[in-house]
Structure 1
Amino acid sequence: MVTIYDIAAKAGVSAMTVSRVINNTGKISDKTRTKVRRVMEELNYVPNHMARSLVLQQSNLLFLLITDITNPFYTTVARGAEDAAKKYGYRLLFGNSDESVEKEKDYIDTILATRADGVLVAPAGDPSLPHLETLRRHQVPFVLLDREVPGMDSDIVLGDSKEGARKLVNHLVSQGHQRIALINGSPYVSSARLRLEGYREALKLNDLPYNDSYVLETAFEPRSDLSDIAAWLDRMDPLPTAIVAGNNVLGVEVIRTLGNRGIDVPEQMSLVCFDDLGPYSEIDPFLTVVAQQAYQFGYLGMQMLVERIQERGETGIPWKKIVLPAELIVRRSVTVI
């Protein structure tokens, strides 16, 4: 294994100079820096970041823990988080909890084992509180993303879920719809609760009744078994003329379930949802959506995390909360009645 002493000997400098080049510290001439780096490349030297982290008590590793990277919303969040991490000189690891509290706990253990400097996390739900308490107990800074957890004060980046739901319902009402259903995430997820609140408020403001049978609370993640959605459709009598989906995954699954029954969107059922389907939605734009600023979620969240890491040890610094507005994008999935 090549060491800094091997590099120093070949470059004709001290080991301390090599260390300063690797860590980008101290005053070193550009000529010396270039010479040392050239020797490092020739010898295929790879810095031992683990050893460095033990010395500096800093790993320069950050962790992004989200629910599902295949969801276009979180894919874009990850892009923003990585760009910000790289800008500030950090490397980024990530994991998917799949909205599983057990899987999330395993990742918390991994985060502690890798000595990550901080975590940007979209919690699985309210039961994530003990995991966040574990991070705080081990003095690992974290920023919450997209979801609040009751009992935990922290920095957080949120979308305006309640207002987004109101925008979707108001749009449907403007197109003549009065029987409007909602398929939503778990009531143990804060964003799902806010979307339900926004849905109910919009119905009330438009003098429309709230009907329990028109609401299905399920999970935001993908599924192969659509039977719960099919059973929900069977229970509604009369069928709604429009459905609001709590996220893009549920929106696609509603389309699949309706298609299995020969129900066409939008001719026979209108559909709107939270979150866009990613950059490729522009190829054949179809779903009317409330699009959240996914890239900004990741970028600003990571920026807040780095600031919190830099402030580590300081007391009395207030928690920061950013709420990003969402944009209604009208496409072809709603028919006028």
Structure 2
Amino acid sequence: MVTIYDIAAQANVSAMTVSRVINNTGKISEKTRLKVKKVMDELGYVPNQMARSLVLQQTRILFLLITDIMNPFYTTLARGAEDAARKHGYRLLFGNSDESLDKEGEYINTILTTRVDGALLAPAGDPSLPHLEQLRKHNVPFVLLDREVPGIACDIVLGDSKDGARSLVEHLVKQGHRRIALVNGSSSISSARLRLQGFQEAMKLNDLTLREEDIHETTFGPHLDVEAMGLWIDTIVMDSMPTAIMAGNNVLAVVLIRLLRARGLRIPEDISVVCFDDFGLNSEVDPFITVAAQQAYQFGYLGMQMLIERIQERNSPPPWKRIMLPAELIVRRSVKTQG
């Protein structure tokens, strides 16, 4: 393995000079810098990133923690985050919590032990507060995505969940629907709470009766209780039949449609379905479900830019930033006009 001493000997300079060239520190003439780099190339020298990070007090590595890698929203978000990181010369590590606080806690420990420069996180929910406080305690800069956590002040990129939910209900109302049900994520998740609020407000503004039994709460992630949702469908949909159902995200929509079809119901002929979040590339193959589409790529890209700015300005940190991205109503074939 080539060392800085090998380079120093062949370039006829000190090891300290070689170190300064590698780490881009200190005052060195351009002639000496070019000579050292030429020798490094000739010998095929690969810098020791661990040693370099100790000298510079930075690793140029960032961490992205999301909640559900199977959700197209997060895969597109991850692409935006990676593109922004690479543009600024950072590498990106990745974790998937599966909406699990325990798994999230393990990744928080990984973030701390790998000495990354900062983290971009979609928290599992309100109970994630101790994990974020742990990052703050160890001076790890972080930016939140998609979900707020009460009790922590930080940079954040959010979608307008309330307005997006209202737009979905308004669309259904314009198509003649009067009884609309909702299947949604956990109330411990800020985006789920806001989508519920938007749903409730739109129902009230349109003088529609909102029955408590027409709202089913589960989880957004891969561990949602499919059996419980099926029982809800059997009780509410099959017995008293709302004409439309709104799903709180695309994962819930897929499960919902699968369960409805298993019971012989056609969409939209027998019941209409709309949802929050689009379906990534799948939506381009056969556009079907009417959605409130979020700007998933922008979530990741803007969040990563905010994180890098926070890292670069950590000695004189600016005020916390909050970006709210609107959702776009995309009308497709999953809604039937009521007579």
Verify same fold: TM over 0.5.
yes
* In 2: Cα distance, 1:13 partner to 1:275 partner: 59
Superposed CA offset, 1:201-244 (max 9, x none): 00011110111111111010135862111111122141211111
CA-CA distance at 1:11 after TM superposition: 4.9
Aligned match of 1:313 in 315, 318, 322?
A: 315
Which residues of structure 1 form unaligned runs of 5+?
A: none
Tell me what 1:178 maps to.
178
Give the residue type in structure 2 aligned to 1:136: R
Distance 1:24 1:333, change over 3 A: farther
CA-CA distance at 1:9 after TM superposition: 3.5
Tell me what 2:336 maps to.
335
Residue 108 of structure 2 is aligned to residue 102 of structure 1: no
Aligned match of 1:304 in 287, 306, 310?
A: 306
Tell me what 1:265 maps to.
267
* In 2: Cα distance, 1:222 partner to 1:262 partner: 25
* In 1: Cα distance, 2:254 partner to 2:39 partner: 54
Q: Is the 8 A contact 1:248 1:274 kept in 2?
A: yes
Which residues of structure 2 form unaligned runs of 5+?
A: none
Superposed CA offset, 1:137-184 (max 9, x none): 111111111000111111110000000000110111111111111111
In structure 1, the residue corresponding to 2:240 is in which secondary structure?
coil
Alignment coverage as a number of residue pairs: 335
* In 2: Cα distance, 1:113 partner to 1:330 partner: 46
Task: Write out aligned runs for 1:103-118 (5 A).
Answer: 103-118=103-118
CA-CA distance at 1:89 after TM superposition: 1.6
Q: Is the 8 A contact 2:85 2:304 kept in 1?
A: yes
Which one is further off, 202-211 or 1-10? 1-10
Identity %: 70
In structure 2, the residue corresponding to 1:188 is in which secondary structure?
coil
Q: Is the 8 A contact 1:62 1:116 kept in 2?
A: yes
In structure 2, the residue corresponding to 1:64 is in which secondary structure?
strand
Q: Is the 8 A contact 1:233 1:239 kept in 2?
A: no
Tell me what 2:85 maps to.
85
* In 2: Cα distance, 1:31 partner to 1:52 partner: 20
CA-CA distance at 1:268 after TM superposition: 1.1
TM-score by length of structure 1 reads: 0.93
Tell me what 1:6 maps to.
6
In structure 2, the residue corresponding to 1:332 is in which secondary structure?
coil
TM-score by length of structure 2 reads: 0.93
Q: Is the 8 A contact 2:181 2:245 kept in 1?
A: yes
* In 1: Cα distance, 2:333 partner to 2:20 partner: 59
Residue 287 of structure 2 is aligned to residue 285 of structure 1: yes
Distance 1:30 1:173, change over 3 A: farther
* In 2: Cα distance, 1:69 partner to 1:235 partner: 32
* In 1: Cα distance, 2:71 partner to 2:39 partner: 44
In structure 2, the residue corresponding to 1:65 is in which secondary structure?
strand
CA-CA distance at 1:37 after TM superposition: 4.9
Superposed CA offset, 1:45-92 (max 9, x none): 322111111222212111111101221101111111111111222111
Task: Write out aligned runs for 1:1-337 (5 A).
Answer: 1-11=1-11, 14-25=14-25, 29=30, 33=34, 36-37=36-37, 39-41=39-41, 43-223=43-223, 226-236=226-236, 237-314=239-316, 317-337=318-338
* In 2: Cα distance, 1:51 partner to 1:32 partner: 20
Give the residue type in structure 2 aligned to 1:244: M
